[in-house]
Amino acid sequence: MKNIRTTPKGTTGLGDAHRWAWTERAACRPQDTALFYGAEHERPHERDARETRAREICSRCPVVASCYEDALAEGPRQWGVRGGATPEQLEAEYRRRTRKTATERRRQTEANPLPPPVRRPKPPKVVWESPVPLERRIRAASAAGRLIKTYSRLSGVSESFLSKLRSGTIRKVRKETADKIRVAYPLVLALEGEIHPEPLGAAAVHGWAAPEAWVGVDIDAPDAQPRTLEAA
């Protein structure tokens, strides 16, 4: 189609045979391109007369509808008479369709609102416990010759954490960790064959109370004191 001028995107469409197949039957093919797009410094009355002649040709064109839709597909900025419409008419129709599309989308959204966002459950609140009752258990286990390694294996708590807890450098313990240490305490003491000199020596140096010293005493009570074995 010789009167299709280059668009701002730098394409004429002539290389796309499928898209422009309809142009083979366009009534404007034998016409001068200037009739549809005008010349520079064209006066208003000259433009009106030219556009009238161009639209007369479009009125008898068998593919005028395809030309009209193709012009609108290029966007809001229009040039020349295309599809039987002036640039102003094409721009007005483009904006009308854009508003219509936006209105339809808004109505669809109102008719089918998005479901409310799924609220993620809040993470459970962390409960902290005093480390003192747990220190007593680990120290008592050491005084019975049980290794930190053994306590870690039976409780599932890391050796480094248990060592820090025994030394008194831990200030608070998560409840779930504390429960593991409590549950493992009698299991550790039940291992009669697990008696080692290293923990026994550490207990002697630091004066850690043996498990027997806590018999009959609430080891979890904040102010509890171990019994002296002599008084037992």
pLDDT tens sequence across 37-85:
888 788 999 999 999 999 999 999 999 999 999 999 888 888 889 999 9
Question: What is the band of 20 on the pLDDT scale with cuts at 50, 70, 90?
Answer: confident
3-state secondary structure the chain: CCCCCCCCCCCCCCCCCCCCHHHHHCCCCCCCCHHHHCCCCCCHHHHHHHHHHHHHHHHCCCCHHHHHHHHHHCCCCCCCCECCECHHHHHHHHHHHHHHHHHHHHHHHHHCCCCCCCCCCCCCCCCEECCHHHHHHHHHHHHCCCCHHHHHHHHCCCHHHHHHHHHCCCCCEEHHHHHHHHHHHHHHHCCCCCCCHHHHHHHHHHCCCCHHHHCCCCCCCCCCCCCCCCCC
pLDDT in tens, 195-221: 999 999 999 999 999 999 999 999 999
